[in-house]
Homo-oligomer: A and B are copies of this chain.
Amino acid sequence: MSKSPARIRLADAAFALFDERGYEQTTVDDIAERAGVGRTTFFRNYRSKEAVIFPDHDRLLDLIRDRLATSSHSTALVAVSDAVRLVLLHYIDEGDLARRRYGLTSKVPALRDREIASVARYQRLFREFIAEWMGDPTASASLRAELMAAAVVAAHNHVLRRWLRGESRDPVAEVDEAMREVLALFPVRSPGDGSAEAGTTIVAFRSARDLDALLPELRRLVEP
């Protein structure tokens, strides 16, 4: 027995013990003992006690970075909302493991904080990518980048949490829908916008809203 690599056995032992006694009540020695390995081996496989639950955020972050670097999308926001799908797919791929982790992070503040910190790293990556893509160091452009990154991450989190709670049958479809929602929040501004050469366009379309409700949006769309 105990043929499987130590890394796997350690994770199994950790999750089992966390379920039985709770996270704080479980020591690293306990985990190592149940896994049938030495304490040293634990820390060789996982940098910390928390890390045994969040295995490969770094790897995933690199994956996202690559995806962004090699992406050829029309806008930064599209590229980012495409990249964030990878994160969701990764969680879905983990399946039950992700759900068990969710159960833990919901109860243990230290783990919740760690999860949040990880997500913040994605958000930062997105923010920097968008800001760089826009190439506009203005404060207002920077704010826009920040808002976009935050929206994408928030939408992702929303869908992910729904799936983790078992409230979602088709998270991939949901995330696409959510990203459309996010996209709609940030209408694309073409370069000439708000500047001198403004032509006149007349568009006819159907809407249930009355004109007063529609006007502010349109004004935002067209003006600066």
Contacts and interface: CB of A to CB of B under 8 A. Distances in A.
A20 interface: no
A214 interface: yes
Dominant SS at the A interface? helix
A52 to B, nearest CB: 18
A150 B174 CA distance: 19
A222 B206 contact: yes
Given A117-B113, A146-B155, A150-B153, A203 B201 contact: no
Number of copies: 2
A157 interface: yes
A120 to B, nearest CB: 5
Contact of A213 (B155, B188, B217): B188
Given A182-B147, A208-B198, A142 B158 contact: yes
A210 B196 CA distance: 14
Given A162-B139, A180-B220, A199 B190 contact: no
A115 B218 CA distance: 38
A218 B205 contact: yes
A72 interface: no
A26 to B, nearest CB: 21
Nearest to A157: B146
A181 interface: yes
Given A150-B151, A154-B149, A155-B143, A199 B206 contact: yes
A184 B151 contact: no
Interface string A150-182: 110111011100100001000000100010111
Interface string A180-210: 1111111111101111111111111111111
A190 B209 CA distance: 7
A172 to B, nearest CB: 15
Interface of A: 112-114, 116-117, 120, 139-140, 142-144, 146-147, 149-151, 153-155, 157-159, 162, 167, 174, 178, 180-190, 192-211, 213-214, 216-222, 224
A-B interface, 8 closest residue pairs, ranked by CB to CB distance from nearest: A150-B154, A192-B208, A113-B117, A150-B150, A146-B158, A116-B120, A190-B209, A198-B206
